[in-house]
Structure 1
Amino acid sequence: MPYSASYIKEKLIKELPASHVMVEDQSDGCGAKFFVLIVSDKFAGKPLVLRHRLVHEILKEELKEIHAFSQKTLTPEQWEKSQSPINTSS
């Protein structure tokens, strides 16, 4: 069963809970290759490997059929910092 970006997004928002989730289907619609960006308080204090394991556990069944899955996991503070314009004035 192919999965849609909206299905994955809703599941991540519900299960984490996440304040921001962006899911990009990079497989031309066949549901086999995804990139996700997830912002959640649950990532605070956790190293990258534990963040990724948490996401993999949530999508355990889906990942049996998804062939390629990449993710970027951020805390709300990291997300906010990444959205700030860079101040280049001296």
Structure 2
Amino acid sequence: MFASLIRSRSTFASLASPLSMSRQFMTIRHYSTPPMEPYEQKIYDILKTHFAPKNLAVRDVSGGCGSMFAITVESEKFKGIPMVKQHRLVNEVLKDEIAKWHGLQLQTRAA
């Protein structure tokens, strides 16, 4: 009945060894941000081409289904333009893509 609860001595020895612990964690590599999915990259490339941004971030916030995006664009092309017009410019560039989405969180600012 309790045979499944008894671990071999070698299991405890390997857990106590600092070297074995470091090997376990060396195989896991954490990134600060995950790589972009292909559709995120497509949107990123479109915006990069049109606005030559100083800062650009495209993130799928729909849980991976590609129906809602959070986009931040900081570009010199927005200097002297009100935020509403900045958003209209981005919406115009992405209008074919936006038609497929459920929602968009857009932040723009002049660089």
Shift of 1:4: 1.8
Instruction: Name 2:95's counterpart in structure 1.
Output: 60
1:22 aligns with 2:61: no
1:75 aligns with 2:100: no
Which runs of no fewer than 5 residues in structure 2 stay unpaired?
1-37
* Partner-residue secondary structure (3-state), 2:73: strand
TM-score by length of 1: 0.77
RMSD: 1.2
Structure with the largest fraction of helix: 2
Q: Give the Cα–Cα distance (whole angstroms) in 1 for the partners of residues 73 and 51 of structure 2.
A: 9
Q: Give the Cα–Cα distance (whole angstroms) in 2 for the partners of residues 34 and 55 of structure 1.
A: 13
Report how many residues are paired.
Answer: 74
Instruction: Name 1:32's counterpart in structure 2.
Output: 67
Q: Give the Cα–Cα distance (whole angstroms) in 2 for the partners of residues 73 and 5 of structure 1.
A: 17
Residue identity over aligned pairs, in percent, reads: 34
Q: Give the Cα–Cα distance (whole angstroms) in 2 for the partners of residues 21 and 63 of structure 1.
A: 17
Instruction: Name 2:45's counterpart in structure 1.
Output: 10
The runs of at least 4 consecutive aligned structure 1 residues that moved more than 6 Å come to none
* Partner-residue secondary structure (3-state), 1:65: coil
TM-score by length of 2: 0.63
Letter in 2 for 1:71: L
Which runs of no fewer than 5 residues in structure 1 stay unpaired?
77-90
